[in-house]
Amino acid sequence: MTLDRARDALRHLFAGAEDSQDGVDDTKEMAIVDPAGPDAIDKGPVPSTHDLQVGIASDPGRIRDHNEDASLAWHFVLAKLGRPPLHVGLFIVADGMGGHAAGDFASAAVVNALNGITAPASLGALVGEVRQQLQAVNHALSEEARQRGQEMIGSTVVVLLLFGAHAVVLWAGDSRAYLYREGELKALTRDHSQVEEFVSLGLITREQAEGHPASNIITRAVGVAGQLELDSEMFEIAAGDTVLLCSDGLYRELDNGEISTCLAMDDCQQACDALLEKALARGARDNVSVVLARALHEEQVTRTHYNPSVTPAGGHPARDDDPTTC
């Protein structure tokens, strides 16, 4: 996406998101690419794959009167004759900044730009396209702030990309990704925040970081610098794994034990709803958004149905009348 195209897209942010694709025929060779170097291709066998279960939920919280978060959850199947189906997924949480009218604008810009990505030929192609789209939105938001006469219009972002059994998380800011595996919760991301830098330098302890006055100051985000810096983490997905993406409104209300209790639920959407309800019960001082993606065991597949969901800023997931996945 060019800068001009990104600007045009910003003018139509709230026109709605396109539906994701199911059963896409792919005739290209599939390759696994190191996300740190899109040209470093390992032309190995097609990775093993798992059916996915998805959940998504968002709420303005108890204090805010509008929602500056935006979320996206979609996946489809790449099918090629003679090969097992390959599940591909893209999941996003974005937390906007810049004031009442600008925060939801920024988070929606991030989600809508990535929602336009088409079926990739490889993990590397998918990672490269996401990086390119986010850089374009980064420049477009900077220009939008300049035209509005605002100091900043920006958004955090955390993205999960699934390609078969291979997964990549990209992020900027303090929206987080967690991996829940065999009853244990592990952080996949490290906050880009002033408090996290204090902890890394040994100036304060992890315990002192909780509730620190500077806890809401972040050091990276989409739209706040000339060049967007994204961190990445690559890992393998195993059957039974659940990946959680969330805005800071969740983890500032719930500890790891409480989050794990919800993630242990069999149903992803119920787990999302439970996380949201617990955060609201604690007072939910900020917007709360959660997205879940789970790799199913084979015996779970027959009872799972997929329904793609997009949560625009200020809204709730779009759903069909039929029961959702998860």
In this prediction, residue 232 carries a pLDDT of 97
Per-residue model confidence (pLDDT) at position 110:
97
Q: Output the pLDDT for position 311.
A: 54
pLDDT of residue 14: 32
In sequence order, what E strands does 210-301 have? 231-236, 242-246, 288-295
Q: Domains of the chain by range and CATH?
A: 3-39+48-311 (3.60.40.10)
In this predicted structure, what is the pLDDT of residue 69?
97
Which of 101, 91, 171, 173 shows the shortest CA–CA distance to 131?
A: 171
pLDDT tens sequence across 274-318: 999 999 999 999 999 999 999 998 766 554 444 455 555 544 443
Residues of the chain scoring pLDDT < 70: 1-49, 100, 299-326
User: Other C-beta atoms within 10 Å of 5: how many?
Assistant: 12
Start-to-end CA distance of the chain, whole Å, equals 33
Query: 152 with 97: CB under 8 angstroms?
Result: yes
Q: What is the pLDDT of residue 310?
A: 54
Q: What is the pLDDT of residue 98?
A: 76
Give the whole-angstrom CA distance, residue 256 versus residue 186: 9
